[in-house]
Structure 1
Amino acid sequence: MTPTTPTTQTPSAQDVAERTGTAGPQARKPAGKWSATAWKRRAPLMPALLFTVVVTQVPFLLTVFYSFQSWNLVRPGSRHFVGLRNYVDVFADSQFRGAMLNTVLLTVVCVLVALLLGLGLAMLLDRQFLGRGVVRTLLITPFLILPAAGALLWKTTMFDPTYGLLNFVLGGDTDWLSEYPLASVMAQVVWQWTPFMMLLVLAGLQAQSREVLEAAQVDGAGRWRIFTSITLPQLSRYMQLAVLLGAIYVVNSFDAIFLMTQGGPGTASTNLPYYIYQRAFEGFDIGQSSAMGVIVVILTLIVATFALRLMFRTFGVSGEAK
C-alpha cells in the first residue's frame, strides 16, 4: 500500500489580507457594529459612573464657583463675584498659614512615627511564635475602631486630668489636652494608624524570598547586615506606599481635633480641615471657606497622584500608572 502524503492548503489572499490587516473595507468588521458591541459592554457601568460624577464632581464644581464669590450667610444679599480675591485673602491669612503648618507637622510626625512603629511590629509578626494570630488581631484592632470613638476614648481614658490613665501612671495632674494639645492629638493619630503601616510592611516582609535570606545566613551575614542589605531594599516601595497613603488620610484628620481639643487652646492644634469647618459653619463665610477647600483638594490630588503611581508600580501594574 502506498502511503498517502498529507497535503497542505495554501492560505488564500483573503486570509492573508485579514491577518495582516490589509483587507478592504468590505472585508473588515463594520465600525458601527463594533461600537454598538462596545457600548453594550459598557452600558452596565454607566449608572455607577453617573453616580460618581454627581456625588463627587458636581459638589466640587459648585465649591469652585463659590470660591469666586463674596458670600457670607450672616449678610443676606451681599453675595457678588470677586474673582481671585478670596484666594489672595486666604494666603494672606496668618491663621490659615498656621493651620497649614500644623497640618504639615501633624502629618509628617504621625506618618513617620507610625511607620517606624509599624515596621517594628511587622518584623515581630513575621516570626513564628505561639499565639501569633491572636497578637496580630489585637494589634490591628485600633485601626478598626471608628476615628470618633478612638478620639473620645483617648480624651476620657488617657488624657483626663483627674481620672486619666496617663496621670495615674505618671503620678501627676497634667492637663495634657491644654498644655500639649498638638502632641496629644498626634499620639491618638499614631495609635490609630500604626496598624495600617504594620499591615503594609508585613505584606512586604512576607513577599521576601526565603531562599535569599537563607543563602545570606549561610554566607555569614548577620541580622543587621541582612536587614540593611536585603530586607530594607525589599521594603522600600512598600514603605513609600505606606507613607503616601497614610499622608493622604492623616492630612484630612478632623475627628481627633474636633473631639479632643476643638482646635485650641486658641489655634494651637487647628489644622486645615478644622479651620475650614470653623470658617464655613461658625463664621458662615462660604466664599473663603470654599477657596480653602479648593486649595486643600488640589494639594491632596497632587499627593494622591504620586500615591497611585507608586501603588501601580509596587504591585506590578504596568501601563495604567504612566
Structure 2
Amino acid sequence: MTTVTAQAGNIRRAQAQRAARGEKHELPRAERWRRRAPLLPALIFTIVVTQIPFLVTIWYSLHSWNLLNPGSEQFVGLSNFADIARDSVFRQAAWNSVVITLGCVIVAMALGIVLALLLDRPFRGRGLARTLLITPFLLMPVATSVLWSMAMLNPTFGLFNWTIGLVGIDPVDWTSTYPVVSILFALVWQWTPFMMLLVLAGLQAQPKDVLEAAQMDGAGWWRTFASITLPQLRRYIELGLLLGIIYVVNTFDQIYLMTAGGPGTESANLPFYIYQRAFLGFDVGQAAAMGVVVVIATIIVASAALRLIFRSFDVKD
C-alpha cells in the first residue's frame, strides 16, 4: 500500500512539474479513446438527426421536382440557386427577416435592460412583478399570435384602437397597414422577458464592493452604470443578442397566424417563404435550395458571433 501511494505521489509531482514548465500532459491514445467512447452514441445520434437530413436537402436542391407532377424529377445542378438569385420575392423575404430579427432583438434587449435594472432594486412585491414579467416568454407562440391579432390589434375591438380612439385617432387595421410592425409587437413582447432574465443574472453577479466603492467616490447613477455595470454586462448582452438572433430568425408562427405573409408577400420572412414554395407551390427543388442558402448564411453569422463572444471571454480583465 505504501509503495502504491508513493508511486501515485510521484506521478502527481511529475504532472505538476510538467505543468509548471508549460508542458502538456498527453494521455495515451487508448486512454483518450476510452474517455471519449461514452460520447459516441450522442455523436451518432446528432449526425443522424441533423447532418443526414441536410445532405438530403442538398440532394433535393440539385433537382427540379414539382409534387403535382411526380414524373418531373430531374437533375438540374445549380439551376435552382441561380433562380433564387433572380427571385425578387426571396430578396424581399431576406430583407424582412433581417428587419424582423434585428428589430425584435435590439428593442427586446433595450427593454430587458430597463426592466432588469428596475427588478434589481428591492421593493415590495418584487417576486410577483418578476413572475408577471416572465409570463410572456412562457406562452406558446401560437397563443401569443392569437392574443395580439385578436385582443390587441383587431381593427374593431382591439385594445390599441380603443386607446388611440380616446384621443380622437381613427381605428387602424394594424396587421394589414403595418404588418411588419404588428409582428414586431408580438415578438418583442414575447422575447423581452428572456433578455431581462439574462441581464438580471448579470446584474446580480456583479461584485457589490465595486459599486459601493463607486458610490463612496461620489459617482452618480449614470456614471456608475456606464463605467462599471454596462461593461460587466457586455457578455450577457452579447449572449442574449446571439441567442435571440438564432431563434427569432426562424419565426414562423406569428407571421402565419397574424398576417399570412401579407399583404401579398410584404411581411413574409425566409422560413415562411420557403414554406410557401414547398407546401403551396409544391416546388421541392427550389424550396430545398432556399433552405440550403438560409442554413449556410445562418451558420456563417452564428460562427462569427460566437467567435466574438468567445474572444471576449478569453480576454482577462
| TM-score bracket for the superposition, by shorter chain length | 0.7 to 0.9
The residue aligned with 1:302 is: 300
The residue aligned with 1:58 is: 52
Which of the residues 240, 243, 247 maps onto 1:242? 240
Which of the residues 194, 201, 205 maps onto 2:203? 205
How far 1:124 moved relative to its partner?
0.6
1:170 aligned onto 2:168? no
Q: Deviations over 1:159-198 (max 9, x none)?
A: 1112211112222432111111110000000000001111
| Residue type of the alignment partner of 2:266 | A
The residue aligned with 1:283 is: 281
The residue aligned with 1:75 is: 69
How many pairs were matched up?
293
1-structure distance, mates of 2:36, 2:202: 36
1-structure distance, mates of 2:41, 2:238: 35
1-structure distance, mates of 2:149, 2:266: 17
Given that residues 235 and 313 in structure 2 are in contact (C-alpha distance below 8 angstroms), is that contact kept between their aligned partners in structure 1? no
1:92 aligned onto 2:86? yes
1-structure distance, mates of 2:37, 2:230: 46
Q: What is the TM-score with the length of structure 1 in the denominator?
A: 0.84
How far 1:313 moved relative to its partner?
5.5
SS at match of 1:60: helix
The residue aligned with 2:224 is: 226
Given that residues 111 and 190 in structure 1 are in contact (C-alpha distance below 8 angstroms), is that contact kept between their aligned partners in structure 2? yes
Unaligned runs of 5+ in 2: 1-5, 16-26
For the aligned residue pairs, the C-alpha RMSD in angstroms reads 2.5
2-structure distance, mates of 1:118, 1:314: 22
1:262-281 map, 5 Å: 262-281=260-279
1-structure distance, mates of 2:315, 2:279: 43
The residue aligned with 2:145 is: 151
How far 1:244 moved relative to its partner?
1.4
How far 1:43 moved relative to its partner?
4.0
| Residue type of the alignment partner of 1:249 | Y
2-structure distance, mates of 1:302, 1:83: 23
Given that residues 241 and 310 in structure 1 are in contact (C-alpha distance below 8 angstroms), is that contact kept between their aligned partners in structure 2? no
The residue aligned with 2:23 is: none
| Residue type of the alignment partner of 2:81 | Y
Q: Deviations over 1:255-309 (max 9, x none)?
A: 1000110000111101000000000000011111101001111111123223444
| Residue type of the alignment partner of 1:223 | W
1-structure distance, mates of 2:211, 2:32: 49
2-structure distance, mates of 1:206, 1:293: 41
The residue aligned with 1:107 is: 101
Q: What is the TM-score with the length of structure 2 in the denominator?
A: 0.86
SS at match of 1:77: helix
Q: Deviations over 1:90-134 (max 9, x none)?
A: 011000000001111111111111011001001011111111111
Given that residues 244 and 303 in structure 1 are in contact (C-alpha distance below 8 angstroms), is that contact kept between their aligned partners in structure 2? no
2-structure distance, mates of 1:212, 1:153: 44
1:189-200 map, 5 Å: 189-200=187-198
1:260 aligned onto 2:254? no
2-structure distance, mates of 1:61, 1:176: 41
Q: Deviations over 1:63-104 (max 9, x none)?
A: 011111111112221211111111111011000000001111
1-structure distance, mates of 2:255, 2:157: 21
Q: Deviations over 1:199-229 (max 9, x none)?
A: 1111111121111111111111111111111
| Residue type of the alignment partner of 1:297 | V
Which of the residues 112, 120, 134 maps onto 1:118? 112
Given that residues 115 and 239 in structure 1 are in contact (C-alpha distance below 8 angstroms), is that contact kept between their aligned partners in structure 2? yes
2-structure distance, mates of 1:282, 1:245: 30
The residue aligned with 1:4 is: none
Identity of aligned residues (%): 62
The residue aligned with 2:18 is: none
1-structure distance, mates of 2:108, 2:87: 31
2-structure distance, mates of 1:126, 1:40: 47
1-structure distance, mates of 2:157, 2:76: 52
SS at match of 1:270: coil
Unaligned runs of 5+ in 1: 1-10, 21-29
* Structure index of larger Rg: 1
| Residue type of the alignment partner of 2:104 | C
